[in-house]
Amino acid sequence: MEEPGTRIVAVSNRLPIRLVHGPDGWEIKRGAGGLVTALAPVFRNRGGIWIGWSGGTNDEDLAGLMEPASREAGYRLYPVPLSADDVGDYYYGFSNEVIWPLFHDLQTRCNFKPRYWQQYLNVNRKFAEITTKHSGETDYIWVHDYHLMHMAQSLKELGIERNTGFFLHIPFPPADIFMKLPWRAQILRALLEYELVGFQTMRDRKNFIQCLRHISSGIRISGRGPVVTVIVGDKRVRVGAFPISIDYDAFARDAESKEVADLAWYLHEALPDRQVILGVDRLDYTKGIPERLEAFKDALSRFPELQGKITLVQVVVPSREEVPEYQMLRAELYRLVGEINGQFTRSGWVPIHYLYRSLDRSELLAYYRLAEIAIITPLKDGMNLVAKEYCACNLEENGVLILSEFAGAAAQLHRGAIMVNPYDVEGMSNAIHQAFHMDQEERHDRMHRLREVVHHRDIFWWVNNFLKAALAKDLRAFPAVEDYMPEIPLAS
């Protein structure tokens, strides 16, 4: 007999798919970004449900697409229809103009418009309504990320009893930054309505608890280790650090494939006698791309032996392109790349190869495989999966990782990487110089250490840890199923 409570219902802002308007109407593509990369292998064929926004505002057009999309994904997908106003104020407004910059310590970029908050509440309620419709009392509702911090409270306001957990993919800021949020107390109280609240790092967890102390003097902490119980009045909430990761085996296996190896060889052949230094980021001002380009320029000026011997391949994945700040960043990157290439290019050598597009998996893995150095220098980042993917794909264990102290990944990878402050242009430039000259033995020792961490703390370790803290169960309690939830009717 099936045990109750064995279904996971994931709820996130976006469904793990993208809808693209092709010549024959709407087409479904796999979604991009860290959350999808991390969760898709976990949910596939486990009878799970994923609830989220489709990315459009005309969901009637999509009704017929959810069935094939669910079949292809291996789990049931239910869309949350959002209007253009919802998207404007909840997504672009509250999520991306308030929480995103504030939680990345960039409070001067925040736009605290009161109407954004109202719409955030309305949309969290919409998510709660759809979740109520498609879940039962024994399901585990696992809510993801900063767009939906209010959802457990919205469920309670609807009178719905569910076991809920929340995972924040982005950093949680220190109290002196968080307390600038006009709705700080509401957000903290809403988070306390979850039974488990998970963060990427111990630093984020500490920041959260510190903020709670600002709104309530009588807080008690019980337990030790990565997951503790926070007692606030009559509330008991589990609060933990769960560093997210990748499907290491899949990355290492795919990187070894003939297709990737051939592509890596072919791409490197076009760059003879030089080291490739690789940057891969979504277009975002938190990723520190202009500062990195300045550091590369500084390295070429101060260490002229690098000229002609190193090429920066900077891949930028288009993101939030409708937002003026992101358009400005895109223009700034083109300008900087043009300026540096204009200054240093000489016959047979272009210092920066700039790719502004999404790569398919084989191409991305080929770049990971061929790069002698990876430079990942966000100003602040929840985790940064690219750092872990680079290590997993470095089969020869001879690559060097230059990593920002302010990426969540730093907590796990600082022993093997060259650590840098992304605001320190000369420090980053010195790190490029150090990586360029690093001997094979040191490269191997460092990369071996990095790969061991990423291997042992992979995405399955992450999901098991979260589920153990939430339900005292691990993934084995959610066996793969042949078909996905055939008894659940499709949303009309």
Q: Does 267 bind ligand ADQ (CB under 6 A)?
A: no
Q: Does 247 bind ligand ADQ (CB under 6 A)?
A: no
Our measurement of the distance from residue 297's CA atom to the centroid of its chain's CA atoms, rounded to an integer in Å, reads 28
Tokens coding 418: 């060259």
Q: Does 243 bind ligand ADQ (CB under 6 A)?
A: no
| Spatial distance between the Cα atoms of 391 and 384, rounded to a whole number of angstroms | 12
Q: Does 41 bind ligand ADQ (CB under 6 A)?
A: no
The CB-of-454 to ligand ADQ minimum distance in angstroms stands at 13
Write out the DSSP string of 45-106.
TTT-EEEEE-SSS-GGGGGGGHHHHHHHHTSEEEE----HHHIIIIIIIIIIIIIHHHHTT-
The CB-of-109 to ligand ADQ minimum distance in angstroms stands at 15
Stretch in the footprint of ligand ADQ (CB under 6 A) among 26-34, 67-75, 107-115, 153-161:
26-34
Residue 18 or 446 having the CB closest to ligand ADQ: 18
In the 8-state DSSP scheme, what is residue 110?
-
Residues 413/389, Cβ–Cβ less than 8 Å:
no
Q: Does 170 bind ligand ADQ (CB under 6 A)?
A: yes
Q: Does 315 bind ligand ADQ (CB under 6 A)?
A: yes
Q: Does 277 bind ligand ADQ (CB under 6 A)?
A: no
How many residues bind ligand ADQ (CB under 6 A)? The answer is: 23
Residue 306 or 459 having the CB closest to ligand ADQ: 459
In the 8-state DSSP scheme, what is residue 109?
G
277 by DSSP, 3-state: which?
strand
Q: Does 169 bind ligand ADQ (CB under 6 A)?
A: yes
Contact residue for ligand ADQ among 261, 317, 475, 488 (CB under 6 A): 317
Residues 162/153, Cβ–Cβ less than 8 Å:
no
Q: Does 48 bind ligand ADQ (CB under 6 A)?
A: no
Q: Does 144 bind ligand ADQ (CB under 6 A)?
A: no
Q: Which of residues 330-389 bind ligand ADQ (CB under 6 A)?
A: 358-359, 364, 381-386, 389
Distance of CA 362 to CAs 127, 264, 272, 344, 373, Å? 35, 9, 21, 31, 19
- Choosing from 247, 284, 381, 458, the catalytic residue is 381
- Choosing from 169, 247, 298, 458, the catalytic residue is 169
Tokens coding 52: 């989220």
Residue 300 or 402 having the CB closest to ligand ADQ: 402
191-210 CB burial, b ≥16 within 10 A, e <16: bbbbbbbbbbbebbbebbbb
Q: Does residue 381 carry a catalytic annotation?
A: yes
Radius of gyration in angstroms for the set of CA atoms belonging to the chain, rounded to a whole number: 23
Residue 102 or 299 having the CB closest to ligand ADQ: 102
Tokens coding 467: 């589920």
Q: Using CA atoms of 167, 171, 172, 177 in order, give the dihedral in degrees to the nearest 10.
A: -160
Q: Does 312 bind ligand ADQ (CB under 6 A)?
A: no
Number of residue whose CB is nearest ligand ADQ: 34
Contact residue for ligand ADQ among 35, 413, 418, 459 (CB under 6 A): 35
Residues 74/44, Cβ–Cβ less than 8 Å:
yes
Residue 38 or 241 having the CB closest to ligand ADQ: 38
Residues with a known catalytic role: 169, 381
Question: Which residues contact ligand ADQ by CB under 6 A?
Answer: 32-35, 37-38, 169-170, 244, 280, 282, 315, 317, 358-359, 364, 381-386, 389
